Amino acid sequence: MSECEPRGLRSGQASAVLPPWPRALAVIAHPDDESFGLGAVIDRLIAAGGAVDILCFTHGAASTLNQAHADLHRVRETELRRAASELGAASVTLLDYPDGGLAGIPAAELAGHAAAVAGRAGASGLLVFDDTGITGHPDHRAATSAAVAAGNRIGLPVLAWTLPTVVAARLSADTGQDFAGQPPALIDLRVHVSRERQRRAALLHASQVSPGAVLWRRLWLLGDYEYLRWLVPPEAAVAR
C-alpha cells in the first residue's frame, strides 16, 4: 500500500470494477479535462468493451497557459479532438460557452445539453469530475452539476472521478494550489488503470502541458489507481 493510498474505504472495501456500461458520456468543462482528469478511466471503460462519448461545454479559450500566444479557441478544439481520438472516444460534442463563465449559465440549460447528448448517444451512465471540482474551479463544478441534473432527469447514474483527501493534501502542499479530495468513507471505487494512453492524450494538449505540470505529480501520487464515487447511484437512477 502506497503512502497516498486511503484506508477505510466506503463499506470497508471499494469496488475494483467499473460499471459495465455499453456506452458512457463524459461531461466536462474544458478541453484537456477528458485527458488530464478522466483519461485513465475513459481508457479503462473502452478497454472493457464500452464506448465513450465526450461533451465539452467550452473551448477553454481563457486559459493563461498559452506561451506561444496561439488562438486558443481554435487550437484547443484541435487538441481536444486529437486527444479524444487517442483515448478512443466515439464522438466529441464541443459547445461554445464562455470559459470561466459556466456558473453564470442557467443550470437547466446546461443540463438540457447533457441530457440531449446522452440520449442521442444511448448512454448508460455519465462520467464527470467530482462535485468539489477537484481544483474548486467553478466551471468544473457547473459541468458536474449539469450532469447530475441530467442524470436525475433521464434516469442515468453519474459516476465522479475524485481524489483521496491524502492525495489532495499532498498536491496542495507540494504545489501551493488548492485541491479538494474525499475521505475514504465517501469513495466507492478504487480501480486499477493504465496510464499509457492517458499520458499520450495529455501530451496532445501541447498548449496546456509542460514537463513541470502539476498533472505529472498527481499521476505519480495516484500510481496505477483511480478513485471514484457515485453522485447518482445506479439504484437511484430513475427517470423523472
What the block records as the C-alpha cell of 150 is 441530467
Q: Order the strands of the 189-192 sheet from edge to edge.
A: 91-97, 51-58, 23-28, 125-129, 158-162, 225-232, 189-192
CB distance 217 to 114 below 8 Å = no
Q: Residue 72: in which H helix or E strand, if any?
A: helix 72-87
Q: Residue type at 178? A: D
Distance of CA 228 to the CA centre of its chain: 10
Q: Tens place of pLDDT for every residue, the chain, 240 residues?
A: 445 665 445 544 466 899 999 999 999 999 999 999 999 999 999 999 999 999 999 998 877 666 566 788 899 999 999 999 999 999 999 999 999 999 999 999 999 999 999 999 999 999 999 999 999 999 999 999 999 999 999 999 999 999 999 999 999 999 999 999 999 999 999 999 999 999 999 999 999 988 889 999 999 999 999 999 999 999 988 766
CB distance 169 to 19 below 8 Å = no
Residue 55 pLDDT: 98
CB distance 29 to 143 below 8 Å = yes
Residue 4 pLDDT: 61
Query: Across the chain, which distance is largest between two alpha carbons, in Å?
Result: 49
Residue 68 pLDDT: 60
* 62 phi and psi angles, rounded to 5 deg: -90, 5
